[in-house]
Structure 1
């Protein structure tokens, strides 16, 4: 039992020493105003860090939500500009079915096509002019090479399907026949 008693006494002494050391540290903090000031600054910095972290988390969530909405509604403006074109198509088809005047329908469709083309150009879409130009794989897709006496080798002789550029990027390369 004396062994257990000695261990209990040692633990009590150790606890008392720790309590004494903590009391000394507290007393030092209270005695030295610089340490107290530094502890206060550390606490203020910790609180500031936590506020900035929360602000950043909110910013990140808000940015992700805005990005999702932008992707979801990105075509809204363009579709709004195309609705008058759709309305004109409906009117042309309705007028042709009532009157049976297909010549007027052809003229109406031509006018609607020009309206659609103008709307797309306002958004930055441009058709490529490729016939007679040198073949460039960044803008053109060769589907065939043909012998040509009037063009030298590597020149586009025929456009099979139009290519388009949207602002400064190729939206669709032109399908072409190239002289070989």
Structure 2
């Protein structure tokens, strides 16, 4: 029986050795896997960091593009409104000399009955012409007796009148007009020194 006991002891020792070897192998494998997991975790952290920075860049780019689009839409809307508001500017500018000619024609003295009838007809056409232009937003710029304003008046000469203040407009040489809030022709005036 002692041999069996020895065999058992020997077997126990062999098994213990194998268990120890297996335990060491498992420990080494576990350590290697743990290092791989740590490396993988670091790689994932780095990858996540890269992706977060790319996402932040893309969000910033998106916000800039969105702001550019909003600005473009707003500018387009303002341009459309401006075009609508001042759509008649070109036509009215071209018709201002016609208006001036009507006014000159109405300044002529008439004496005969035929001339008076013609004068009345021209006056009626002139008034309807002025009404049509006013409906489009044409406004006369006040000049005589007001303070000179370089944004709406154009001084072409200076005169001296001691009874009036300096900078007051003494005479209007050519009428000026605005279309809504835009000057399309400044008044040509003579200003007191």
TM-score range, shorter chain: 0.3 to 0.5
TM-score, length-scaled by structure 1: 0.48
User: TM-score, normalized by length of structure 2?
Assistant: 0.45
